[in-house]
Amino acid sequence: MEETRRVGVAVDFSDSSRNALRWAVDNVVRKGDYLILVTVLGHAFYEGGEMQLWEATGSPLIPLTDFSNPNIMKKYGVKPDPETLDIVNTAAAQKEIVVVLKIYWGDAREKLCEAIDNIPLSCIFIGNRGLGKLKRVIMGSVSNHVVNNGTCPVTVVKN
């Protein structure tokens, strides 16, 4: 029997992350897969106790019904856009997949690599903002770091 695949998509609810999500859903995700959206927030937005508990390991896996609810997502400090929600709701219904969200806090480069190992992910898709060479050197590239340090197949989807 085949092992259940956990397909990860790094999302920050930008155009580039929506493109990566759409590409993964259209080309890779199949019936029975888990589609795990991974988002990294740069700051802590939690009440003290919960934040301290989840800071190292990330939030629990949040089911699609919960992250489609703006009141629940307000607690996490995340505001998914309608287009992303439409993509995942349609994929869940049409492809019969389970969609969940995992939130981390900290540096996106490090936390995405941690997510690969801790969840664990079968593969991950990341959007590319298309920074120029100079900006990439100064700011660093999340996708470049994950490609070089991730322990699963990484696909970078360019705009």
Whether the per-residue pLDDT at 75 is higher than 50: the answer is: yes
β pairing state of 62-63 and 98-105:
antiparallel
3-state secondary structure at position 157:
strand
Architecture of domain 6-158: 3-Layer(aba) Sandwich (3.40)
Measured between alpha carbons, how far is 95 from 93 in angstroms, rounded to an integer?
6
Mean pLDDT (whole number) for 54-80:
88
pLDDT at 143 over 60: yes
Q: What is the per-residue pLDDT for 5?
A: 95
Average confidence score pLDDT of the chain: 87
For residue 65, the model assigns a pLDDT of 94
CA quadruple 12, 16, 156, 93: dihedral sign: positive
Measure Cα distances from 87 to 55, 113, 115 in Å: 28, 24, 22
**pLDDT: is 101 or 72 the higher one?**
101
Give the pLDDT confidence of 29-50 residue by residue, as tens digits.
Answer: 999 999 999 999 876 555 555 6
Q: How confident is the model at residue 69 (pLDDT cuts 50, 70, 90)?
A: very high
Extended strands (E) in the chain: 6-10, 34-41, 62-63, 98-105, 123-128, 154-158
Write down the pLDDT at residue 138: 44
Question: Using an 8 Å Cβ cutoff, are 87 and 125 in contact?
Answer: no
Instruction: Mark residue 96 as left, alpha or beta (left: phi above 0; alpha: psi -120 to 50; beta: remaining).
Output: left
- Residue 21, pLDDT above cutoff 70: yes
For 77-111, write each residue's pLDDT tens digit.
888 999 999 999 999 999 999 999 999 988 899 99
pLDDT top residue among 112 and 46: 112
